[in-house]
Structure 1
Amino acid sequence: MRVVVLGDIGQPVYHVGDEAMTHAVVDELRARGVSDIVLLSRDPEQSTRIFGTSSVKTLEFPWPPHRRETYLREIRAILAGDMTALPAEDQVHALIETMKTCDGVVIAGGGNMTSPYGWLLYERAAVGAIANALGKPLVISGQTVGPVLTGPDYDTVVELFRSATLTSVREQTSWELMRNADVPAGLTLDDASFLEVDHDPATGIEPDQTTYKPQPGRPFLVATFAPGTGAMDKGAFNQRIAEVLDRIADAGNLDVVMIPHMSHPGQADIDIETHQDIRQRMRTENVVVCGQLSAEESASLTMQADFVVASRYHPIVFALSAGVPCLGIAVDYYGEVRIGGALANWGLGHTMRSLRHLATPEFDTYIDQLWAGRDDISANLKQLSPTQGEFQRAWWDAVVETLKGAKPQAPVLESPEPAFLELASGEHPSVAKLTANNELHIGHQSVELFGLTHVLEDTRGSLGAVEAERDRLRGELNGLTEALSARNSEREQLQHELQSLKSSLLVRAGRRLRLLRR
């Protein structure tokens, strides 16, 4: 069986979470006898080296909304038989030929099905459309849908999910959105939950990266933070995080290991730069700022930690499935949906904290409570782990059955009852809902403004092209006018010369006549 897998991999920026989810899909397919796997990647050579599979170039969609919508329509026209819709050299033709050779298609999990990352959403919609046109089983696994979706993007998501044979989302919010759209999606854990890793994997994806080697009897905390700080000033956010990490490290005599999940390989940017700034603000001395590690090593270190603090999503995923107590901090509603959803799948959704909590003096008390309850939290997670693991294995069984032609029903995870309610935020639900609605409204407006801005740019570009063509034609007209004027002058000169010649001939003729008369 030959299966095409689309994950957000091979990007110039290495992203631990996206790479980890693709690793999970490849591992789970191989474990069930699917060995012929073709990855769709931005960098096929890199992906082949990392995953040990065949890889081909994926589709790259334009970023502006109206351009990606137009390109998807053109691809669909090609699939409907209109071969004039796109040039023969367009990238889609090679992908169609690749997908003709496969038996099924899997779209790996992620948070791409949202308008702010619409070019990735439309890439997935195009792959789904090709699979559907070719009659190939399509599986969509472990997605976050939204929360920001403009009208065209919402329709695109719904159409994509309806065209698939088997689908799942990874949190309750996304599941309810799909249910309200009358789409029978399943609800599962994130694809990278229970990722099988060697506890001594190869080091970073670039040589000589700073890493951390756990020592027996020496507890450590893993911290991962993205540069984005939402509505909070970046300096103020990083200072508060430094204080939080100092507080936990002091309480447990912990090493602090800062693991980046996004950076350009070989460059100390994005997460690494953020970690360096936080490190400079900390009092604790035993802090290691790691370079960009591979997805496997990042997951392995996180799973071995005694505690995890993160504003990124996948450190929380790795921690939960390994029974590691964690603090998820969301800087915006997108983060609240994903991090809160991951925690809720383990009965801990109410332990997620946002900027609304981080900025308050009471947050220190919460940190102390969370740290004091760490052993109970860990024990509870480990108690849930066998059931959660069995459910997720059943999901992957259903994926392979679907690729073989079966049509199993999408499973729905039964979220555990909330545990340790004393750790609830105390925030009134209506306040959280109001904040979410405000952020969604701002998100929709931002995407629409982004689209209108590019429509204006395109209009200006078209106008500029028209003006340039006008100037070119005006220049040609001036040139023709000058040439015509020159020809007219030349004609007048010739006419003058002709008249002179005629006069001269008449004179000569007259003289000859006079001579003949004599």
Structure 2
Amino acid sequence: MSVLIIGDVGALEGMFHIGDEAMFEVAVVELAQRGRDAIGVSSHPAETAARYGIPAVPRLGFEGLGRVEAARRAEHLLAVAAGTARLEPEDPARETIAALDAAEALVNAGGGNLASRWPTHVFERSTLVSMARMRGLPVVVTGQTLGPDLDAPDDAVVARMLREAALVGVREPDTAALVASWGVPATLNVDDASFLGLSERDPVRGAGGGVVVSLSGWFAGRPADEVEQRIAMLVDAAALAVGPVSFHAHFGPLDPTAPPRGDAAVHERIRTRMSQPSTVVPTGTSREAADLVRSADLLITCRYHPAVFATPAGTPVLALSADRYTRIKLRGALGHWGQRSVIDLDDLPDAPRLLADLTARADEIRGEAAERLPGLRAASQQWWDTVCAVIEGSAASAKR
């Protein structure tokens, strides 16, 4: 039997989201190393199946629905699971439910962070968890950020979902505190993708890769022209203080010859404002993205997973937060490794001071990462051992 894994994966319209794919990839790999096959739930099942070499099925059909319609959809799917309703032949959930029927467990593999700003994920994840529990399947929630904006009734829905889970893994202290307030035990670890492709023999890469910049267009309502100009000035300063600058789109087109979209479009606007030269590294794969930032002398990012990849290798990170949500994630990613340089976009004029501090402490930062790495890697491996032990224990109980 297989484990059904839901992640926010599947490249649509040629656009690839590195972090979400990375967490899903790690779940597939870690389960496979422990003798568990995976089936993925994906926005683009054929693309996901080809990329990871596993079967994949569609999502449950909540995309594009308003809250009222999504609530009705959830109610209908739960009635189907209970055997009191039927799906239409063309319903996209038909394959997903069939995969759930054949599974021995459900893993919610990060991505699609559960917050009221993304109600589709709240409805989809909670509904799938309830359907799994109706079948007696164990549920694991791993690598998760929750909130901080969880309005009623989303707060109650997510809390109930976690209470139904056999294991809950979170990745930053703020989420751990929120889960504890619901009375749910959770394991706090680094992000699941932290060690993707990281060598056991030479885990801390040598510097020499210059400055890598990975940004998004989420400025939380601030004037884009003003923010982009200030970031351009910061990157110029980094180029002069540290070395050559490369821009890398965390969410960008798979085709390197395609017109810039997503983060790549933001990067092009900033590059035109800079006085120093820069280059562009194509989005590529999650592993390539991790290698890039681990060999850099400095990472400037407002994206989360570039920081997740960089910090285990001791790459100094200057993180730019737009709001409470991004601040919680970035502080969490850096804090596991002893880094703390997270600055709000409103405080960009103070960024040169942080830049100078980071460059002065580069050796100290790399040394701290090397010291923390064995314990954090071991904790991550222990987590996946526990996940598979829970799945095995549930399967053994079902046979008796």
Aligned pair partner of 1:261 in 244, 250, 269: 250
Aligned to 1:222: 212
Residue identity (%): 32
Aligned to 1:185: 186
Aligned pair partner of 1:290 in 268, 281, 286: 281
- The one-letter code of the counterpart of 1:265 is L
- The one-letter code of the counterpart of 1:54 is P
Quote the Cα distance in structure 2 between the aligned partners of 1:354 and 1:376: 24
Aligned to 2:398: none
Other structure's SS at 1:249 match: helix
Q: CA deviation at 1:356?
A: 3.1
8 Å CA contact 1:39–1:53 kept in 2: the answer is yes
Task: Report whether the alignment pairs 1:246 with 2:236.
Answer: yes
| Structure with greater helix percent | 1
- The one-letter code of the counterpart of 1:401 is A
Aligned to 2:74: 72
Q: CA deviation at 1:11?
A: 4.0
- The one-letter code of the counterpart of 1:107 is N
Q: CA deviation at 1:406?
A: 5.7
Aligned to 1:310: 301
Quote the Cα distance in structure 1 between the aligned partners of 2:79 and 2:101: 17
Task: Report whether the alignment pairs 1:395 with 2:396.
Answer: no
Aligned to 1:235: 225
Task: Report whether the alignment pairs 1:300 with 2:302.
Answer: no
Quote the Cα distance in structure 1 between the aligned partners of 2:107 and 2:71: 22
8 Å CA contact 2:4–2:103 kept in 1: the answer is yes
Quote the Cα distance in structure 2 between the aligned partners of 1:323 and 1:304: 9
Q: CA deviation at 1:351?
A: 2.2
Aligned to 2:4: 4
Change beyond 3 A, Cα 1:112–1:293: same
Q: Deviations over 1:100-140 (max 9, x none)?
A: 11111111013520111110221111221121111111111
Aligned to 1:364: 352
- The one-letter code of the counterpart of 1:243 is M
Residues 20-35 of structure 1 correspond to what in structure 2 (within 5 A)?
20-34=22-36
Q: Deviations over 1:365-410 (max 9, x none)?
A: 2221122112111111111111111111111111111111269xxx
Aligned pair partner of 1:274 in 241, 266, 269: 266
Quote the Cα distance in structure 2 between the aligned partners of 1:154 and 1:339: 22
Aligned to 1:353: 343
Quote the Cα distance in structure 2 between the aligned partners of 1:160 and 1:59: 17
Quote the Cα distance in structure 1 between the aligned partners of 2:82 and 2:19: 35
8 Å CA contact 1:68–1:122 kept in 2: the answer is yes
> Which consecutive unaligned segments of at least 5 residues does structure 2 have?
200-205, 396-400
Q: Deviations over 1:279-308 (max 9, x none)?
A: 1111222x1122331212111111221211
8 Å CA contact 2:137–2:394 kept in 1: the answer is no
Q: Deviations over 1:320-340 (max 9, x none)?
A: 122211111111111011111
8 Å CA contact 1:63–1:118 kept in 2: the answer is no
8 Å CA contact 1:272–1:290 kept in 2: the answer is no
Quote the Cα distance in structure 1 between the aligned partners of 2:252 and 2:65: 21
Worse-superposed segment, 139-148 or 232-241: 232-241
- The one-letter code of the counterpart of 1:236 is E
Q: CA deviation at 1:309?
A: 0.8
8 Å CA contact 1:248–1:371 kept in 2: the answer is no
Other structure's SS at 2:103 match: coil
Other structure's SS at 1:9 match: coil
- The one-letter code of the counterpart of 1:81 is G
Q: Deviations over 1:195-244 (max 9, x none)?
A: 1268xxxxxxxxxxxxxxxxx98532111000112243211111111111
Q: CA deviation at 1:87?
A: 3.9
Aligned to 1:48: 49
- The one-letter code of the counterpart of 1:352 is V
Other structure's SS at 1:293 match: coil
8 Å CA contact 1:107–1:139 kept in 2: the answer is yes
Moved over 6 A (4+): none
8 Å CA contact 1:308–1:326 kept in 2: the answer is yes
Aligned to 1:162: 163
8 Å CA contact 1:222–1:259 kept in 2: the answer is yes
Question: Normalising to structure 1: TM-score of the pair?
Answer: 0.71
Over aligned residue pairs, what C-alpha RMSD do you find?
2.0
**Across the two proteins, how many residue pairs are aligned to each other?**
384
Q: Deviations over 1:36-67 (max 9, x none)?
A: 21111111111111111111112120442222
Residues 97-108 of structure 1 correspond to what in structure 2 (within 5 A)?
97-108=98-109
Aligned to 2:202: none
Aligned to 1:332: 323
Q: CA deviation at 1:89?
A: 4.2
Change beyond 3 A, Cα 1:197–1:57: farther
- The one-letter code of the counterpart of 1:311 is C
Aligned to 1:490: none
Other structure's SS at 1:112 match: coil
Quote the Cα distance in structure 2 between the aligned partners of 1:45 and 1:283: 43
Q: Deviations over 1:454-486 (max 9, x none)?
A: xxxxxxxxxxxxxxxxxxxxxxxxxxxxxxxxx
Residues 113-132 of structure 1 correspond to what in structure 2 (within 5 A)?
113-132=114-133
